[in-house]
Structures are given as C-alpha cells and as structure tokens.
Chains A and B, each alone.
Chain A
Amino acid sequence: MTAIDDPGSEATGEERAAETPIPDEVAELDAAVATAAAERKQIRAERRRLLLRTPGFVLGVVIAGFWVICAIVPGLLAPYGANEAVRVDGSVIARQGPSADAWFGTDTIGNDVFSRVIFGARSVLITAPTAAALATIAGTMLGLVMGYYRGWADEILGRIIEALLSIPVILLGIMTLVVFGNSRIVIILTVATLFTPVVTRTVRSAVQAEAQLDYVTSAKLRGESGPFIMLREILPNVTGVIVVEFTVRVGYAIFTIATLAFLGLAADDFTTPDWGNDISNTYNLIQSNNQWWPSIFPALAIASLVIAVNLIADSLDKVRSS
C-alpha cells in the first residue's frame, strides 16, 4: 500500500514543516512550526481519546480500579473484618450459604466470604505488580545487553534463558518455595525470576531491530559508549513494547501467585485474607459438603482481575501499534 499517497500516515499533512527554508521565509515557517507543535499535542490527545473509546480498556480500568480501591481501603466496602465472624442474634453463623446477612455466605469458622474477598485484594495487588515490575526491569536490562551486543553475551545468556523456559513454571516455583520458605518476599522473587526470561526475549528482539538502524551506527561513529547507546538511544524507542509486556506480566503474575497459593505454597497463616489461600483451604468443601461459596467467589475475583489486566494490556498494545 506504499504507493497510495499515504492518506492516513502521521508524517503527511500538517505536521510536516516547510521544505527549503530560506531566512526570508521565517514568518511562514513559524506558522508551520506552530501547527506542527499543535499537531503533536493533538496526536497525543487523540491516542488518549482512542484509548478511552475502546470499551475493553474502559471495562478493564473499571474492574481493576475497583480492586485497587478494595486493596487500599477495604473497610470502605467490607461489612465485616477479614477475621470477624458473622453473628446473627449473637451467635456465629458458620457454613452458611449466601444470604442477606452474608452476601457471599460464610466459611467453616463463620467469616464473611464477601469481606474476605474484599480484604484479599491487597495481598495479590502487592505481590503481582511488584513481581512483574522486577521481572520487567531485569528483563529489560538483559534484553538490552543481549540485543545490542549480540555475540557471546547473547549466546550464553540465550542458552540460560532457554534452559529456564524449558522448566515448567509451577515445578520451578514449587522447588524454590520449598527450598527458601514461603514468605511474601520469596514469592515475589520467585515469580520475578520465572518471568524474567520471557520479558528478556521480548525486549531483546525489539532492541535487536532498533540496533540495526542507522542512528545506532551514527552514535558509534561519534564514539558513544555501549551503556549510553543502550539506555539513552535505544531504550526510549522500546518503552512502548516494555509497558505492554509489563501489563501482560501483571496478569500472568496474579495467576501464578494464585496458583502457588492454591497449591498451599504461599502462606501458612490462615488468617491473612488471600484469594488463592482461601480457595486452597475451602475447595474440598465443594465436594464433601456441597459448600461452593467460600471457594467460587475468590476464584471469580481472580478471574475478573486477570481479565481486567489483560483487557488493558490488549488495548495498550493496539493503540501503540496503530
């Protein structure tokens, strides 16, 4: 389609300034520059508008936003405390199905499932983004080095990454948690380590494509150092890819952490509200006692958050590449 005189391309139209400026024409040129600056702002505003007009993005932000509020001020929405038994007429009602007193029912010791779901948002919203952020930072650094230098550094790191990627995520997670214990820090570091290779691979290929461009050659020709070229020249050009990759990883991190918790590897403290933990502690009640509510509601919470984050990631990716 290159031959069609570029009707929609960004570089045509007003944002182009005048060709062959001759000093006498400066006034005319200023006008062109002013339009160009206005155009730039307009494009940014348009991107934002495009994003806000995407139903998926809006829905994702609304759902994720709800959980963030829950994580920050759970007391605002939860009728009970995380470990407060529901009492009707002074007596604890345990193993009770959804009712007006407890919307999502109560668990074996009488805690309100609804309140626990609200309180449980905090734990996952701390661990998952932190783990994803660490993985993104490490992956970006590795990806820059591998994609820019290539050669033996790429060769060696590439093998290590391939090796890591070939081990099933859960298996590796179980092994590290068993060896190092299951504090929150260990969980974050474990998930970050698990995700670093994937981020590295994405960033590496983006960096590799950038490193082929002549501006990198030009930087070498004026004697720039490797770190300068990687961090100042290339990095700004791959941030879009990195932001999208980070968002995608947050979604997967929620999933992975919940899975590890479900397997009983995340915490040994039953009182801390945590979606994965709660499912892990109550799912056997579905079969034995036909009590589905203490496990299904946290599961739905996980699903909604993962879907919300993925919707955001998808929309960001689409707007970035449009």
Chain B
Amino acid sequence: MTDTVAPADTAALEVDDLHLSYVVRGIPRAVLRGVSFSIAPGEAYGLVGESGCGKSTTAYAAVRYLPGNASIDGGRILVDGEDVIEMPYRRLQEIRSSHASMVYQDPVQAMNPALKIGRQIAECYRILGHAKAEAGDLALESLRRVHIADASSVMDRYPHQLSGGMLQRVVIAMALVGDPRLLILDEPTTGLDATVEAEVLDLVRELRTTTNAAILLIAHNLGVIRTMCDRVGVMYAGKVVEEGDAQRVFDSPEHPYTVGLLNAIPRQGLRKTDRPLFTIPGTLPQIGAELPTCVYVDRCPIADDLCRTEVPPVVSLGEQQWARCHHVEQTEQIDVPTSGIDARELDDEPVVELTGLSKTFRQRGTDIPALVGVDLGIAEGETVGLVGESGSGKSTLAKTLLGIHEPDEGGEITLDGREVRANATDRVTDSIRAMQMVFQNPDSALNRMWSVRRILRRSVTKLTDLRGEAADRRVEEIAVAMRLSPRHLDMRPRQLSGGLKQRVAIARAFAGDPRLVVCDEPTSALDVSVQAAILNLLANLQAEDRTSYLFISHDIGVVRYLADRIAVMYVGRLVELAPTDELFSGPVHPYTEALMSAVPSVDGSVRDRIPLTGEIPSPADPPPGCVFHTRCHRFIPGTCDVIEPPTIQITPRHSMACHLPVEELGRAPS
C-alpha cells in the first residue's frame, strides 16, 4: 500500500500545534494539546488511539465542524494551504463541498431516512451548480463508481432498505461528489462485519488510486490502519506521541504507549496459554487535566523523575519516524507478561450439550428458521468460540441455549446429562444457577437506577443460598475477585467507565459459581487496553473455577486467544467445529477460510483475501443444497446447489459440513 508520493509544495492537510478545548460547565477543558501533523497530496495518514484521546475532534476540526462549546485556543489548520480557522464561513462551505469531505462512523445516521438515495446524492451535485436532470445522471454515475450492485434501483430506494455496507458505499459516493483533495474517514468500518469491512476498505483503496485524494483515516482498529495507511500518528490525551511509516511504527514501536497498545492486542496467533495480554494501568487523563510534562507519564512503565519534570523532546528515529519520549532507547525493556494459564486436558464429557437444536421465528405468517439442527457440546473448563457474520444466528443460539427463546420441538438441551426446560423461567433453580450470561453492552445490561452493590447482592441471593451477612460478604468477595474496589459498590453504573461496568456484569454472572457463562461480544464496546484486562480476567476465572464459556465474537484474534474450540455459523447452521489450532493450520470450510482472510492484520502478514461477495442470505429463504454455495469460491455446480452437504469428520474433534474432499480444501483456491 505504500505508493510513494511525490512531495508537493502544499500539504492536503496541515495541522500545526492545534490547541482546542471544550467548555464544560463554564470551564474550558483542554482536549487537544498541540496536535501537529501534515498529509501530503495523495497520501493516506492514519490516526490511532483509545477513545477520548481526541482523534475525532481533530478530524472534525480539520473542516471546522465543531460543537458550540468548542473553542480553538491556538494553532493553525491548513487545507490546501488555506487557513480553515480564519476563513469566512462562505469560503468554509466551499472548502467542505469541494476540497475536504468526510465519511462518518455510522452511515445510518449520516443519511436522511425520509429521502430516496438518488435524491440525496443528486442534492450534492445541485449544490455544486448542476442542473436537476444532470445531477440525477451524475448521482447514478457516482453510485457506479463505488461499485454498488444494481445502482439504478438503489437510486429509488430509501436508506433503511440498504445494508450497512451498501449505505457506507453511498456515503462514500456522496463524499466524492466534489472531487475532494482530502477525504476524512472517521471510523468508516467500525459497525460493519469483517467481510463487509474488507470490501469497503478495498473500495477506499481503489478510489484513492483513481482520484489521488489524500486520506485521513481515524480508526481504533490497528489492523485497518496498517493495511490502509502510508503513515500513522499515535494519539494520546490530545497529542500525537509517535509518528512514522505505518509498517515501521507497528513493527518497531518506540513510544511506550504504542508499545502498550500493540501488546494489548491478541496478535501473531497468541493464545491464553502463551501469556496474559498486556494491560495499560490507570486510565486516560480526563479532558482538561493538567499535563505539564509528558502526557503519558502516569501510566508509563518506564517513567522516571525526568519524565515528571521535563517535557519530553521529539526524538527522531530515522526515516521520518519520531516519538515524544525521554527514553526511547528503553522501550525494548518494557516487560511483557510471560507465563500464561496452564493448558489442561479437557474432558470428553460435555457439561452442556445441544442436540438438534432449532429455533424458528414466526413473523407475519412466514417461518424464519434462525437456527437449524445445531449439535454442540461444551466440556468443563472449555471455551467454545462462536464466529460468523452478523445474521448468522450466533446470538439466537446463545439465547435459545439460555432459555430466552424457546427452541422448536425435537431439540434438546442437557446440563450434566439431564435435560433442562426450554424456558429460563420454567427451569429449576440449579439449571438457572448453572447458566449465566455476559452481554455486549454493559450500559444496557446493568440497571441504571441500581447501585453496584444492589445489582450484585440480588444476583447473590438469587443464585446462591447465602442470605444476610453471608451474602454481603460474598458480594464483597466477588467484587474483589473482579478487581473492583469495595468503594465501587455504592456507585451507580453511570459513574463507572466501560471497563468497570463490564467487570460488574461479569461479577454478576459469576455470583453463583455457574457451570457455563455465555459471553456475547463482551469486549467489542471496549478499547483494546480495557479489552485486554477483561480477557485476562475471563481466562483467570476459568482457570480457577473450571467454568465453561460460549464466547461469541466477531474478532478472530480475540476468539483465537481465548477459545479452545471454534464453532463457525452461517445462516443458522453450524458449518464447522474445530480445535483452535487445527482451524488456523489445517484445511477448513470455505466459509471459515473466507471469514479469516477478511480480517485486516496488524502483523502485516499478507494473505490473499478470499472475497465474500454479496450479502448473507436471509434465513427465511435459505439457498437450496449447501446454504453457502451462493458465495462459495469452491462451489461445485450440480452438487453444492442441490444436495445438502453431510457433516464430515476430518480429525476426531474437527467436523465440517462440506462436499469438497479434504485434500481439495487444503489447497489454495484456484
């Protein structure tokens, strides 16, 4: 991705010592503390960092699109050499329409739900002065440019009729209307599936070469930045702390924060048995905090007195890489935790077993089989990772197992060999206590009006036989086990950060020593360093209590780190089940192959991506034969679209549903 860019005189975007603050309750609080970087014409520049570090504020400031309480306290922002801060509003509008455009995080919110797609794009052309009929033609042309399937029919559709990936293409098409020289992408693929994300990123890459626009890409996913950008800036607490060539920064980070971030991610095939993930202690300083010297000093493992007394210099590291740190030569010495949890042999006898589990939803008279004949056993102390695109039935499986949805007749759920009732509310106390859940969004999972103590105490009294003082003691015990301070117990969820909230949610699930905990994307709403702490916690709890996990995640790296076996779902069916090692080494189902190849890697290992075109089929109308044949790159006409594939056993613990011979699957696709 590193097309060398001819240095031009004027940068597409130059941010110079930008200071910005938000006025909160009458007090200005510093958010950006001297951000400087510049993007050459045609260059792709990435900004990474945890949420709250000022990435998005920087992006919005570049086009002076800021909330009313923001005030720019110093510095310059030049778009194509023109000062954005000083320019009159009229000129700013021109800049926004023809020089620098923006693609937002959530395409659904970026579109007007009441207007047809065609009209919304045409409106952009009308603003640029095109006549009505001409604008319509240009709109259609712009949709073709972003490779939307069936562009002319998309023109007549409303935003809610398009999928997230298609909508993001439309938003990109709109951003390109004025042939901008700078394209600002703020987390453009965050809400999308890995497979869709890969396609959108391909599109951005292609448009970059055809339009030669410079790109400012904001993302918290380091893999996305690595595959997309020439240069990267690492932001922390409103300052760029390290900058350089993307490959170099990720391969040999020099600032302790960059090192911390990269070590927090489960990468390079890391497993829980290898080592715990690196966590960055403490929290991001709040906006407006006094940070007179190094911004990272409070969390830095190698900080010393010098760091506390003097502003760190910008240390050049050659080839345009630099870091703001006193001790760049010591970053090699930052300790990475070494010993992982002990690998243990897992029983063959499952704690929880699902046999022929199906779930059909009825909607307006039509049957929607969301889950079709799933067989799965989970052993004591085992983590089964569940992966698949959204809409593949992962959450339905979890909720049916837990008794939130009632399964169809014929399926069976057993716990320790005994069948359990379909509905959670009908289950005997022991079954209720045995199976608990950790949800994706801790804001929704915790009652906002309850204190942490009340949340935990209620679970303790419902899920154990402890009462009175014994229950109070147990509440404090589990709080400590989750690394929550006893003082947190009297707070409301709103007062806690995302990571602490998720700890409370985990504490609640573990209140009654459950046999199985279903984790539904427990870290997807969290920053990587917080994610690392939560994953370590889950791994340790499991090692101590031999609890089993059904771990749902869209992040293959996370699943690989934590799971002993991985189950792959597609349109409500389990298409593959394999031990984690085998899944990443051996022959795999074509769907698994495509899914894994879509993940942008922060390690920079180049993989040939197997395109997964089109949308996941609706479970209401599954394709005949193998459900995957419509998108399969190894499709055998006459077989796959007619006969449902049998489940074949590749090794004793590795099964998949595919017609292809195993030898064929091991080979690279033709």
| Chain A interface (Cβ < 8 Å from any Cβ of B) | 1-8, 10-22, 25-26, 29-30, 33, 36-37, 39-40, 46, 213-215, 217-218, 220-224, 233, 236-237
Contacts and interface: CB of A to CB of B under 8 A. Distances in A.
A140 to B, nearest CB: 16
Given A220-B424, A221-B437, 11 more contacts: A4-B56, A7-B31, A7-B69, A12-B52, A13-B287, A21-B483, A33-B487, A221-B435, A222-B462, A222-B463, A223-B424
B471 to A, nearest CB: 14
Interface in B412-450: 424-425, 427, 429, 432, 435-437, 439-441, 444-450
Contacts of B54: 5
A38 to B, nearest CB: 11
Contacts of B57: 4-5
A215 to B, nearest CB: 4
8 contacts: A7-B69, A8-B69, A37-B490, A221-B436, A222-B463, A237-B447, A237-B448, A237-B449
B641 interface: no
B22 A221 contact: no
B356 to A, nearest CB: 23
Interface stretch (B361-369, B493-501, B550-558): B493-501
A18 B67 contact: no
Contacts of B243: none
A222 B458 CA distance: 9
| Nearest 10 A/B pairs, CB to CB | A7-B22, A236-B449, A214-B445, A3-B56, A19-B283, A33-B487, A214-B439, A222-B462, A214-B444, A223-B432
B453 to A, nearest CB: 13
A31 B447 CA distance: 25
Interface string B51-73: 11111110110000011011000
Contacts of A18: 282-283, 497
B493 to A, nearest CB: 9
A7 B84 CA distance: 22
Given A214-B444, A221-B424, A4 B495 contact: no
B484 interface: yes
A224 B494 CA distance: 24
A4 B67 contact: yes
A217 B490 CA distance: 23
A7 B32 CA distance: 12
B485 A5 contact: no
Contact of B404 (A8, A19, A29, A217): A217
Given A7-B287, A217-B439, A221-B404, A36 B56 contact: no
Interface string B470-493: 000000000000011101101110
A20 B533 contact: yes
A220 B485 contact: no
A46 B462 CA distance: 37
Contacts of A15: 494-495
Contacts of A237: 447-449
Contacts of A213: 444-445
B496 A3 contact: no
B429 A223 contact: yes
B168 interface: no
B439 A14 contact: no
A3 B283 CA distance: 20
A7 to B, nearest CB: 3
B495 A39 contact: yes
Contacts of B449: 236-237
A14 B56 contact: no
B281 interface: yes
Contacts of B562: none
A218 B24 contact: no
A60 B35 CA distance: 49
B106 interface: yes
A21 B491 CA distance: 15
Interface in B509-545: 530, 533
Interface string B265-287: 00000000000000101110011
Contacts of B105: 2-3
Contact of B286 (A10, A14, A220, A224): A14
A223 B187 contact: no
